[in-house]
Structure 1
Amino acid sequence: MSHPRALQFYSVCGLIGLLSFSVCLRSSLAAAPAGAAESALAKKVETKPGEYNVDYDIQPLKGKLDRVPMFNSNSPEIVPDSGILLSTLDPKNKRHPEAHLKYAVKGPFTIFFHHINRQDESGPRKLLIISLLVYNPASSKASLTFHSLASYVSQPDAPVPVQPLPPLCADDEGKVYAGQGDRVASDYVRGAADFKYPFTINVAPRSYALVSELPVKVYGASSANGRSYFAEAEAKKPIQLALLGSFREDLEVFERSEVWRPQSATDEMEDLIERGSAFGAGRKDRGNRDLHSLQKMLEEDNLAGPREGDKRAPTPPGSKQAIVYGRVSGVQLGSTLTAERSLDLQVATPLAVAYPVSSVEQGTMGTGEIQAAPLIRRYKNSAYAAHGNYCVHYQIDLKITSHDKATRSVAIALSSPLKTDKNEDYLTFFKEQARPVFFRGVIKVSESDNQGKIADDAPAHYYHLVAHRGERLPPFTRLQMEPGENRTVRIELYYTPDATPPQMLTIDSEVNARPVTIPAPAEQSANPADKKLSQKSKGRNE
């Protein structure tokens, strides 16, 4: 069965800096004003000036988070001074026990961090070094295995282009991104971050190992640069992790732009383990001194700060007051969210359904569903949950069945309507494009075969989306559903660091006025496959 691709008109979108040219999807809907193409069910209702409503049956996604822990460090986002960013070590015998959360991971887990180096333009610039260490508290050797990894700095790896990116762009080659978090998530959703062979680090009993030591350098006229990092790993025995930030003079360092491709990432980590430090420049004695100084920081230093929550403390769960979400620093429970929803196209009945993606407290879009992963360890004055679910893998299966007697077109889109917690039957959008970008990232779309199954190697297409606050985006795919047809569409994304939740996944289908004749039972072939082909042939030729 042939499944025509959606959005068939293309134009070229120029990207600046390291971004190469990419083919951008353009459809008549993309060129039209927001809300120009709506289903018969979706009507506009004027509310406040500059806004409009679109009717939808808003339902919970009913997503299920797994129980894979994530070591998550995003506070302080801007690192003000040297210190501990996040530590799950035992606080015993530490000068500042409050800086250590005492949590050991065993089995599969993920690591995420996103931090910024901002320097005063008037003073000498310093280099931020982010160091990831692992500690083995046991009396026998422990191993840590990495299966995938991606890390980029904004400059020069993933600059935001001078010319704004379009709201919807084909990105099968992975060349469209704006910001380091966008590029990390793009690598993961397309499988570019996977190692060909797992990389294993052996850690001696009651000893530390330096896993990564990454520079964040401020370049040129800019006053800031940021780094995002995400990895999937596994520990055979319980281990503890620590992330440290330290500043050094802005000396010449090995340029790590583009090194975090899978093969070079393993080479870098292997070299780091052998030398003790990437800044040892091949001298093991220097590397040992660096590792010793990091151990001393863990034992004697406090948390790097001040932190965002020191000025505005996050709001406790369940509060009725205006919420302060805060930034995450701790261990969350959940790295992958899966959901499966069934949709039925009834005879001569339009469809307009919406599901929240990355819904948060006081932002469930009326569904009552909070998708934010809970924190099982956190620092005081940091977020109570992983609001935004940065780098959480979303896998959403939409099982669509047509009971209609006519061919139906089904449009699927991801948009950023105005956040609400009220139980309403519509989504609210701005008429004009707002300035803040609330979501930019890549989604992967794959479809089922004739048996309704999605194979691991099923053909997939990738689309880069840019949604401003209150912006309704054009559909990234359209399906042509024949009478009696079943189709499953899988939508995947790694929720992009620095996106602002929630978004809404919308499914629209108008009623096709042209009916398709269904043969009477006596005319139908005894072979079910022949029957389906006969129905399709008649529908297409009438």
Structure 2
Amino acid sequence: MFAFLLTLAQATPTPTPPPPPEPQEFVRPQEVRSLPGGLDQIPMFNSNSPELVQTQGILLSTFPAEGMEQPAAHLNFPFEGRFDLFAHHVYRAPSPEELTSLYLGIIVHNPGSQPVAVDVLQAATYLSQPDAPFIDLPALVENPLGEVYAGPGGRVMNDILRGQRQEGFSPQVIVPPGGYEMLLNVPIPVETLDPPINGRSTLMRLRSDGRVYVASLALFAREDETGNEQAPTLDEWRSLLQTGSLAGARDRTPTPPDQTGGQVVYGRVAGVAQGSVWEAQVADSPNALTLSIPAPGEAFSYGLSTLVAGRLGTNQVQTAPMLVRYPDTAYQAHGNYAIQYSLSLPLHNPTDQTQQVAIALQTPIKEDLLSQNGLRFFKPLPTQTFFRGTVRVRYTDDRGLPRTRYIHVVQRRGQQGEPLVTLEMPEGDRRLVQVDFLYPPDSTPPQVLTVQTLERTDSN
């Protein structure tokens, strides 16, 4: 009898679970405003093309073209004073038998006759495996110690937001007259991974007291007599710089900025962008000192990382302009990867009643002109993650105490988002809220920062 029941159970097919419900759009009526302030003038060395590196070569060179075997690979842009360096690349082994690590090298050259000091103010570099794998996390997680992250880009931005210089980076690099030094010489290993693919994100905030040229390069590791991998030497990097061509495979060619209509291909960034921080005092008007909260039950939003074809009705493109670039790469630094948003909201409750005010990061459905009177969202949510990174919120809480919170945020496409902070504001109350984050690589713009006054109930 037992055998019969077992046979019957094995013969009965397991019912197929119903497919998840399709995401449905809904509209949240609210005003979307342009973000005050703007990007600073600090140049950013932005190495993100090709994102998937398949051949060794030059990723980005700001060296002069004179004396180089491939002049078109060099953009002739010197740095002096403050500048940022951002690099974000992925390597996939061409076959299961070819598992040699790809090295990322950042080389700096002093063309002058006096030594140049390059101060490393903040710096971090992480691999996807094993440093910061992409893992599923809740929408909001408190991150006081910086131990919450999903992906190397988010982990790097988290470190820089906290003003850190990762162990292993020298606080200062001295480049002798006419000499070269390595700012970074690190592997992207794939040997133990299945599938054999890995990525590395890097951000450095630098300051030089003289003119320097910088290049990011990709070179396969060499093996010693015993078969162990060896990092490329300074001479090997210099040889690649002087004789090499652009690394491949090349990304999709971007859509020209004067094209109207059709699909927009943003392209990947390889060049020098202008801007490190977007700083703003978010107030009622350019000359105002306060930001009046919305009426109960209403909200307004400010665009974040808005871009061509994704302005959310604001007519504002926040994307950093390119000072120099390769012809087959992005015309602007779409997405503002590694750019810091530092926003001050001097909230004011002008009413004669206590109001509950919430501030949230949101990822509405991308639009250029708003097709409806507000922002569009999904419910239930689709699977694509559009934002993952740490946000810092500083404010005075309802007990009058200063608070600083680091919150890791994960949002999918069309997600309204949960409040970063909720305040009980008595009549006439003024409360400064400061929101800071570095736009994380592997995120998809645009987002908005929303201020909402919650509907009062009888219990209030």
Map Cα deviations across residues 253-280 of structure 1 (whole Å, 9 max, x no partner): 5xxxxxxxxxxxxxxxxxxxxxxxxx57
The verdict on how the C-alpha distance between 1:293 and 1:121 changes in structure 2, with shifts beyond 3 A counting, is closer
Q: Quick one: distance in 2 between partners of 1:318 and 1:416? A: 27
Map Cα deviations across residues 337-371 of structure 1 (whole Å, 9 max, x no partner): 0112122137x654310111111111010101111
In structure 2, the residue matched to 1:203 is 175
CA contact (8 A) 2:120 2:169 kept: no
CA contact (8 A) 2:25 2:379 kept: yes
> Secondary structure of 1:227's partner?
strand
Q: Which amino acid in the other structure matches residue 34 of structure 2?
A: P
| 1:444 maps onto 2:392 in alignment | yes
The verdict on how the C-alpha distance between 1:194 and 1:486 changes in structure 2, with shifts beyond 3 A counting, is farther
* TM-score calculated relative to the size of structure 1: 0.75
CA contact (8 A) 1:146 1:233 kept: yes
1:482 to 421, 426, 438: 426
Structure 2 residue runs without a partner (length 5+): 1-21, 284-290
CA contact (8 A) 1:169 1:465 kept: yes
2:413 to 469, 480, 504: 469
> Secondary structure of 1:244's partner?
strand
The verdict on how the C-alpha distance between 1:211 and 1:510 changes in structure 2, with shifts beyond 3 A counting, is closer
The verdict on how the C-alpha distance between 1:196 and 1:179 changes in structure 2, with shifts beyond 3 A counting, is closer
In structure 2, the residue matched to 1:87 is 61
1:408 to 332, 351, 355: 355
In structure 2, the residue matched to 1:492 is 436
| 1:248 maps onto 2:221 in alignment | yes
Q: Quick one: distance in 2 between partners of 1:89 and 1:500? A: 31
1:327 to 243, 268, 271: 268
Paired residues for 1:25-104 under 5 Å: 50-104=24-78
Q: Which moved more, 1:97-106 or 1:171-180?
A: 171-180
The verdict on how the C-alpha distance between 1:197 and 1:90 changes in structure 2, with shifts beyond 3 A counting, is closer
Q: Quick one: distance in 2 between partners of 1:506 and 1:147? A: 32
In structure 1, the residue matched to 2:377 is 429
The verdict on how the C-alpha distance between 1:446 and 1:195 changes in structure 2, with shifts beyond 3 A counting, is farther
In structure 2, the residue matched to 1:301 is 244
The verdict on how the C-alpha distance between 1:370 and 1:381 changes in structure 2, with shifts beyond 3 A counting, is same
The verdict on how the C-alpha distance between 1:197 and 1:388 changes in structure 2, with shifts beyond 3 A counting, is closer
Map Cα deviations across residues 223-275 of structure 1 (whole Å, 9 max, x no partner): 2000000010101111100111011257645xxxxxxxxxxxxxxxxxxxxxx
Paired residues for 1:43-442 under 5 Å: 50-161=24-135, 164-193=136-165, 199-218=171-190, 219-248=192-221, 252=228, 279=230, 290-309=233-252, 313-321=253-261, 322-342=263-283, 343-345=291-293, 349-423=296-370, 424-442=372-390
In structure 1, the residue matched to 2:5 is none
> Secondary structure of 2:279's partner?
strand
Q: Quick one: distance in 2 between partners of 1:436 and 1:111? A: 28
The verdict on how the C-alpha distance between 1:430 and 1:296 changes in structure 2, with shifts beyond 3 A counting, is same
Note the C-alpha offset of 1:78.
1.0
Map Cα deviations across residues 383-418 of structure 1 (whole Å, 9 max, x no partner): 001101111011011111111111100111111111
> Secondary structure of 1:476's partner?
strand
Q: Which amino acid in the other structure matches residue 118 of structure 1?
A: R
> Secondary structure of 2:236's partner?
helix
Q: Which amino acid in the other structure matches residue 479 of structure 1?
A: L
Q: Quick one: distance in 2 between partners of 1:96 and 1:475? A: 52
Structure 1 residue runs without a partner (length 5+): 1-47, 254-278, 281-286, 517-542
Q: Quick one: distance in 1 between partners of 2:204 and 2:391? A: 19
CA contact (8 A) 2:106 2:184 kept: yes
Aligned length: 425
CA contact (8 A) 2:279 2:341 kept: yes
Q: Quick one: distance in 2 between partners of 1:63 and 1:425? A: 25
CA contact (8 A) 2:23 2:382 kept: no
Q: Which amino acid in the other structure matches residue 423 of structure 2?
A: L
Map Cα deviations across residues 20-45 of structure 1 (whole Å, 9 max, x no partner): xxxxxxxxxxxxxxxxxxxxxxxxxx
Q: Quick one: distance in 2 between partners of 1:241 and 1:480? A: 50
* More helix per residue: 1
Q: Which amino acid in the other structure matches residue 43 of structure 2?
A: P
CA contact (8 A) 2:306 2:316 kept: yes
The verdict on how the C-alpha distance between 1:513 and 1:405 changes in structure 2, with shifts beyond 3 A counting, is farther
Note the C-alpha offset of 1:61.
0.9
Aligned-residue identity in percent: 36
Q: Quick one: distance in 2 between partners of 1:204 and 1:101? A: 22
Q: Quick one: distance in 2 between partners of 1:210 and 1:174? A: 28
Q: Which amino acid in the other structure matches residue 115 of structure 1?
A: H
Q: Quick one: distance in 1 between partners of 2:170 and 2:48? A: 27
| 1:460 maps onto 2:404 in alignment | yes
Map Cα deviations across residues 307-333 of structure 1 (whole Å, 9 max, x no partner): 103xxx211224322211000000001
* TM-score calculated relative to the size of structure 2: 0.87
Q: Which amino acid in the other structure matches residue 186 of structure 1?
A: N
> Secondary structure of 1:507's partner?
strand
The verdict on how the C-alpha distance between 1:166 and 1:513 changes in structure 2, with shifts beyond 3 A counting, is closer
Map Cα deviations across residues 161-218 of structure 1 (whole Å, 9 max, x no partner): 3xx2111111112121111111111112233347899822111222211221011101
Note the C-alpha offset of 1:123.
2.2
The verdict on how the C-alpha distance between 1:100 and 1:297 changes in structure 2, with shifts beyond 3 A counting, is same
Note the C-alpha offset of 1:63.
3.2
> Secondary structure of 2:264's partner?
coil
Note the C-alpha offset of 1:426.
0.6
CA contact (8 A) 2:319 2:334 kept: yes
Q: Which amino acid in the other structure matches residue 69 of structure 2?
A: R
Q: Quick one: distance in 2 between partners of 1:115 and 1:196? A: 20
Q: Which amino acid in the other structure matches residue 318 of structure 2?
A: Q
Note the C-alpha offset of 1:222.
2.7
Note the C-alpha offset of 1:121.
4.3
Q: Quick one: distance in 1 between partners of 2:90 and 2:103? A: 11
Q: Quick one: distance in 2 between partners of 1:403 and 1:199? A: 48
CA contact (8 A) 1:406 1:512 kept: no
The verdict on how the C-alpha distance between 1:198 and 1:216 changes in structure 2, with shifts beyond 3 A counting, is closer
Q: Quick one: distance in 1 between partners of 2:60 and 2:29? A: 44
CA contact (8 A) 2:397 2:403 kept: no
CA contact (8 A) 1:147 1:195 kept: no
The verdict on how the C-alpha distance between 1:57 and 1:388 changes in structure 2, with shifts beyond 3 A counting, is same
The verdict on how the C-alpha distance between 1:511 and 1:406 changes in structure 2, with shifts beyond 3 A counting, is farther
> Secondary structure of 1:229's partner?
strand
Note the C-alpha offset of 1:126.
1.3
